[in-house]
Amino acid sequence: MKAEENFYKRQAQTTPFPIGLEGTHAKGSYIYDTSGKKYLDMVAGIAVSNLGHGNKNVNRAIKNQVDKHLHTMVYGEFIQSAPAEFAANLTGILPKPIDAVYFVNSGAEAVEAALKLAKRCTGRSQIISFKKSYHGSTHGALSVSGNELKKRPFRPLLPDVHFIEHNVGADLNHITTKTAAVIIEPVQGDAGVRIASKSYLKALRERCNETGTKLIFDEIQSGMGRTGKWFAMNHSEVIPDYVTLGKATFGGMPGGALAAPKNELDAFTHNPMLGHITTFGGHPVVCAAGNAALEEMKRTVNFEEVEAKGEYLATALKHEKVLEIRQIGLMLAVDLSSANEVQKVFDYCLKNGVIIFWFLSNPHSFRLAPPLNIEQKDLEKAVKVMREAFNILP
């Protein structure tokens, strides 16, 4: 009771109606509440817990690092084995010439760093982003996010930011020699899983090459196996200039990273020196967790199975009440007729022990992003409950 009271009275809220589920522990694909009721987690904390909850090896790595040391110095000054090792391991799964990372504390901060690096390296200020995109809630990240409703009260935001349609080739001519960077989610997450085609991404890459514009792929949500490959970019042959990472990258711990060629990241070291700084970025415990999660992913996650599980969900959820399902790997959007229907399905699922969730910029859909190692029997259980929910819709 105490936690509940403090949550509502002493913790700032993000909506007037938080879910308010009080978890006591979580294991695999399940979260347990104070009454002992278990909930099947079909969203993984919004694409974070890709290995499920309570992974033994990730937990052990965290505990080992806690016993060695916590924070000893601000980012970039001391050599610490956990971030150094993780940087090497993480760049090992990224395409060349992306060969280094700058660790920060969240996805939004990775986006901030990417925008700054693009401006610093091109000497330009214009940024092009996409309608309905989501890149975070800080001023810079919000400036390049597409949802006008969420931005209006916080203006003025960054100047010289322009929005084009995702996956529409005709709009690419808005990218010019004035454009410092284009920031794109190759699979838009909060827009409701909108997948850019290979040919579009190729044309985008070519336009950025022609104009000397930095191409930033925001893989904060789509990265680390979520789409059935390490990164959404791996579905095409397109290699961006910079990649932003967060969410699942740190094994359930809070973090973010800007991945880019080392010679470009070096721009932060001069003119001005300390061009981008952070106290806690690359925290050793966070990086130890990330490294263990990455090793565990390599060892245990089969990407073909991730895609097969996603396809199973997309097929099994077809129903007369479902207008459309968009799916890539285990990243899914299920379109219903209205936000009201989504709420009804959410309520039914929660009552029956299945957690689904909304999208920021797509109110008539709900999202599914379960742990990548979720078992088939749990997927079937979730499908059963969701179909029962569709059946009660008027």
Ligand X SMILES: Cc1ncc(COP(=O)(O)O)c(C=O)c1O
Give the angle 223-368-23 at the CA atoms, nearest 5°: 100
Cβ-closest residue to ligand X? 107
Q: By CB under 6 A, tell whether 163 contacts ligand X.
A: no
Give the angle 333-241-99 at the CA atoms, nearest 5°: 105
Q: Which residues 31-50 are close enough to bind ligand X by CB under 6 A?
A: 46
In terms of Cα–Cα distance, which of 134, 167, 166 is closest to 151? Answer: 134
CB nearer to ligand X: pick between 135 and 194: 135
Give Cα separations from 247 to 14, 191, 218, 304 (angstroms). Answer: 19, 17, 11, 22
CB nearer to ligand X: pick between 179 and 222: 222
Count interface residues toward ligand X (CB under 6 A).
Answer: 16
How far is residue 250's CA from residue 246's CA, in Å, rounded to a whole number? Answer: 7
Q: By CB under 6 A, tell whether 135 contacts ligand X.
A: yes
Q: By CB under 6 A, tell whether 134 contacts ligand X.
A: yes
CB nearer to ligand X: pick between 111 and 164: 111
Beta bridge partners of 365: 335
Q: Which residues 218-257 are close enough to bind ligand X by CB under 6 A?
A: 218, 220-221, 246, 256
- CB–CB of 365/336 below 8 Å? yes
CB nearer to ligand X: pick between 312 and 357: 357
Identified binder of ligand X from the candidate list 107, 140, 192, 371, rule CB under 6 A: 107
CB nearer to ligand X: pick between 111 and 356: 111
How far is residue 96's CA from residue 219's CA, in Å, rounded to a whole number? Answer: 16
Identified binder of ligand X from the candidate list 28, 83, 136, 140, rule CB under 6 A: 136
CB nearer to ligand X: pick between 29 and 106: 106
Q: By CB under 6 A, tell whether 108 contacts ligand X.
A: yes
In terms of Cα–Cα distance, which of 257, 221, 261 is closest to 240? Answer: 261
Q: By CB under 6 A, tell whether 189 contacts ligand X.
A: yes
Mapped onto helix, strand or coil, the DSSP state of residue 305 is helix
One-letter amino acid at 108 equals A
Q: What residues make contact with ligand X under the rule CB under 6 A?
A: 46, 106-108, 111, 134-136, 185, 189-190, 218, 220-221, 246, 256
